[in-house]
């Protein structure tokens, strides 16, 4: 059992008391004035650009990244950083073209936008979709992965950790969006500080254990990673020579499994863009941070978050690669080789004090994401379901109370389904679980939003068909396409590999889910265009687009160019 020392506990408690105290101070200051719905759900425009940027990162970087992406770093390597680095470009696109549309139309929630642009039926269907996704995929996976990691580090009971994490998230969330936004500044500082400390110590560990160095050097440790695992430092994975492999050829079998997760250059023409543009631009959980601000502040905050995304793989991916090299050399004790346990395996070797900081960083990431997700669930349920269909005349006070109850209920549901991993998150792999099941609705949602933004003729009928068709196509490609059309078609290549589960060899036939997502999107988009062309030529609900909305200030141009230059350098180095 891994136990925290007294100094570790002091470090962690200091973090907890400081965050809780700061959050309470923010809450009591605002409580002096009456708290309305816009204040509770959107912080009434009081978030600064740096608070918006920090909150975006704190809400995004959670157990999914620390545990899931670190696990993919152990399994695949630097290629998984595409999710973070393409996100930086996606945030530039959102800042320039998406956020002006939301702010000009005074959008509070994504279903509200859909009501304005299409109709209430489309909005209600999507509100239900989002509520189920946020509760049963996002909340559950964040909670499960976080509890597993902290339990592996501390030896504490997983179920007890889940309850503690939820209570901490609840304390922050009930204070409203302003408390979440400003405490996220602390959370992101702690997770970056703790994450960097973990990376530094992990690289030193590689240097001393693998190289036998007496004076540990993080730089030497990084060079060792590159020499010991060169295949882990390739952004673009090679397409396997054969799409059918067995356990008899372990190298080829492993390469196929990697390619299924990150299908080389093909993913940049398919699902990778849909994942990021949908997540950052059409997602209540994320856009909510900027919807209460003016355009200049929102844009600066979003671009600041994009700049920070460039450095996130260092914190969340390198420990996984370090775990791979140490495990490969037989130097990582108490590790069973399961990728989602790689991060916590590294953390167990941190010295006294640093372990408490690492637990604080993990907790900060988990709590911030749980709080942000719960607030988004509360916002959608209260404003787009309860107020519209149950109590149209509800006062601000009643709506805030309803929102708080929605937070409590959603967290309890997530806890119920997570206690015994009812949804099988552990078996799927945390990062893949989230990306895969979010990807079931992403193609239809993104097609509906992108056409709704920029093509006035898009109809509500087309949007409703798009939501359903995108979901059905995703299920079809994932579950039935191979049985009907075979493993090799002009649309896709399905890969067959073998895994050992419960001492039984199992054959898996799978199309890379990022390819599935890409085809689902393009087919849905084409269908929506065809339906809209058959409708009226003039759509009164089409948005008025003013080119002046998209004009970018010199300061923002500098931020965009700096981000792109760093990104180009990273891809040039690791291509």
Distance CA 558, CA 504 (A): 56
Give the model's pLDDT for residue 426.
61
Cross-strand pairs, 506:
499
Q: Which pLDDT band, with edges at 50, 70 and 90, does 43 fall under?
A: very low
Q: Could you count the other beta carbons within 10 Å of the beta carbon of residue 489?
A: 13
Give the model's pLDDT for residue 523.
96
pLDDT greater at residue 347 or residue 207: 207
In order of 180, 444, 460, 469, the CA distances from 523 in angstroms are 39, 10, 18, 9
Instruction: Of 417, 374, 397, give the one whose Cα is nearest residue 168.
Output: 374
Q: Which pLDDT band, with edges at 50, 70 and 90, does 518 fall under?
A: very high
Burial 452-474 (b: 16+ CB within 10 A, else e): bbeebebbbbbbbbbbebbbebb
Length reported for the chain: 575
Question: What's the rounded mean pLDDT across residues 174-187?
Answer: 61
Q: Which pLDDT band, with edges at 50, 70 and 90, does 32 fall under?
A: very low
Distance CA 463, CA 109 (A): 17
pLDDT surpasses 80 at 213: no
Give the model's pLDDT for residue 341.
79
Give the model's pLDDT for residue 261.
85
Give the model's pLDDT for residue 349.
76
Average pLDDT of the chain? 83
Percent of the chain with pLDDT over 90: 25
Give the model's pLDDT for residue 64.
67
Distance CA 173, CA 65 (A): 21
Of 176-185, 363-372, 406-415, 455-464, least confident by mean pLDDT is 176-185
Give the model's pLDDT for residue 530.
97
Which residue matches tokens 């490609």? 477
Please name the residues in contact with 195: beta carbons below 8 A apart, sequence gap of 6 or more.
66, 315, 316, 361
Distance CA 242, CA 245 (A): 7
Distance CA 498, CA 292 (A): 50
Distance CA 65, CA 385 (A): 31
pLDDT greater at residue 96 or residue 316: 96
Question: What's the rounded mean pLDDT across residues 410-434?
Answer: 74
User: Where is 151: in which H helix or E strand?
Assistant: helix 140-154
Distance CA 555, CA 299 (A): 11
pLDDT surpasses 60 at 293: yes
Of 36-45, 75-84, 489-498, 560-569, least confident by mean pLDDT is 36-45
pLDDT surpasses 80 at 516: yes
Q: Using only C-alpha atoms, what is the Rg of the chain?
A: 23
Q: Which pLDDT band, with edges at 50, 70 and 90, does 129 fall under?
A: confident
Burial 373-387 (b: 16+ CB within 10 A, else e): bbbbbbbbbbbbbbb
Question: What's the rounded mean pLDDT across residues 80-89?
Answer: 91
Strand extents, DSSP E, 243-366: none
Distance CA 398, CA 382 (A): 10
Range from 96-110, 134-148, 221-235, 339-353 that averages highest in pLDDT: 221-235
Q: Which pLDDT band, with edges at 50, 70 and 90, does 218 fall under?
A: confident
Which of the listed CATH numbers 3.40.50.1220, 1.20.1600.10, 1.10.10.10, 1.20.1730.10 matches domain 6-18+47-417+425-574? Answer: 1.20.1730.10
CB 542 within 8 A of CB 458: yes
Instruction: Of 207, 401, 203, 395, give the one whose Cα is nearest residue 318.
Output: 203
Percent of the chain with pLDDT over 70: 88
Give the model's pLDDT for residue 460.
93
Of 162-166, 192-196, 459-463, 511-515, least confident by mean pLDDT is 192-196
Instruction: Of 376, 391, 514, 528, give the one whose Cα is nearest residue 462.
Output: 528
Give the model's pLDDT for residue 29.
64
CB 128 within 8 A of CB 116: no
- Give phi and psi for 308, each to the nearest 5: -65, -30
pLDDT surpasses 60 at 38: no
* Diameter over CA atoms, the chain: 76
CB 528 within 8 A of CB 287: no
Q: Is the overall model pTM greater than 0.85, yes or no?
A: no
- Give phi and psi for 495, each to the nearest 5: -115, 135
Give the model's pLDDT for residue 39.
52
Q: Could you count the other beta carbons within 10 Å of the beta carbon of residue 396?
A: 14
């Amino acid at each position: 059992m891994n136990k925290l020392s007294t100094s570790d506990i002091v470090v962690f408690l200091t973090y907890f008391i400081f965050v809780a105290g700061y959050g309470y101070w923010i809450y009591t200051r605002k409580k002096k004035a009456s708290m309305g719905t816009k204040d509770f759900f959107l912080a009434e425009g009081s978030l600064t650009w740096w608070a918006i940027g920090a909150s975006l990162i704190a809400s995004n970087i959670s157990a999914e990244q620390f545990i899931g992406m670190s696990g993919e770093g152990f399994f695949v390597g630097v290629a998984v950083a595409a999710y973070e680095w393409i996100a930086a470009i996606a945030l530039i696109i959102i800042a320039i073209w998406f956020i002006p549309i939301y702010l000009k139309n005074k959008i509070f929630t994504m279903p509200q936008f859909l009501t304005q642009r299409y109709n209430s039926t489309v909005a209600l269907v999507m509100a239900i979709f989002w509520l189920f996704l946020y509760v049963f995929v996002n909340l559950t996976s964040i909670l499960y992965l976080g509890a597993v990691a902290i339990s592996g580090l501390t030896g504490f009971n997983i179920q007890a950790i889940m309850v503690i994490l939820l209570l901490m998230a609840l304390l922050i969330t009930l204070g409203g969006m302003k408390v979440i936004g400003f405490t996220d500044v602390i959370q992101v500082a702690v997770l970056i500080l703790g994450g960097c400390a973990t990376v530094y110590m992990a690289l030193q560990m590689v240097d001393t254990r693998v190289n036998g160095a007496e004076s540990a050097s993080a730089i030497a440790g990084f060079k060792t990673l590159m020499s010991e695992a060169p295949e882990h430092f390739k952004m673009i994975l090679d397409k396997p020579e054969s799409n059918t492999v067995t356990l008899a050829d372990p190298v080829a079998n492993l390469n196929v499994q990697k390619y299924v997760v990150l299908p080389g250059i093909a993913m940049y023409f398919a699902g990778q863009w849909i994942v990021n543009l949908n997540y950052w631009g059409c997602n209540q959980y994320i856009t909510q941070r900027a919807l209460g601000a003016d355009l200049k502040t929102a844009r600066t905050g979003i671009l600041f978050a994009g700049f920070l995304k460039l450095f996130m793989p260092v914190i969340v991916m390198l420990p996984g690669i370090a775990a791979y090299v140490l495990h490969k050399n037989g130097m990582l004790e108490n590790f069973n080789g399961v990728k989602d346990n790689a991060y916590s395996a590294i953390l167990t070797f941190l010295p006294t004090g640093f372990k408490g900081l690492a637990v604080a960083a993990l907790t900060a990431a988990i709590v911030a994401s749980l709080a942000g997700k719960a607030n988004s669930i509360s916002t959608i349920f209260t404003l787009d379901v309860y107020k519209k269909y149950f109590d149209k005349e509800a006062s601000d006070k009643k709506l805030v109370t309803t929102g708080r109850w929605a937070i409590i209920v959603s967290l309890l549901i997530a806890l119920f389904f997570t206690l015994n991993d009812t949804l099988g998150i552990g078996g799927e792999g945390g990062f893949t679980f989230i990306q895969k099941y979010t990807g079931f609705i992403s193609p239809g949602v993104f097609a509906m939003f992108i056409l709704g933004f920029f093509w006035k003729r898009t109809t509500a009928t087309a949007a409703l068909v798009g939501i359903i068709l995108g979901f059905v196509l995703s299920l079809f490609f994932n579950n039935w396409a191979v049985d009907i059309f075979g493993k090799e078609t002009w649309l896709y290549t399905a890969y067959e590999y073998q895994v050992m589960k419960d001492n039984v060899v199992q054959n898996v036939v799978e199309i890379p889910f990022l390819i599935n997502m890409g085809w689902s999107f393009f087919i849905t988009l084409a269908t929506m265009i065809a339906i809209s062309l058959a409708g009226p030529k003039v759509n009164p609900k089409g948005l008025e687009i003013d080119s002046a909305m998209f004009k970018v200030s010199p300061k923002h141009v500098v931020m965009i160019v700096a981000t792109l230059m760093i990104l180009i350098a990273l891809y040039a180095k690791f291509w």
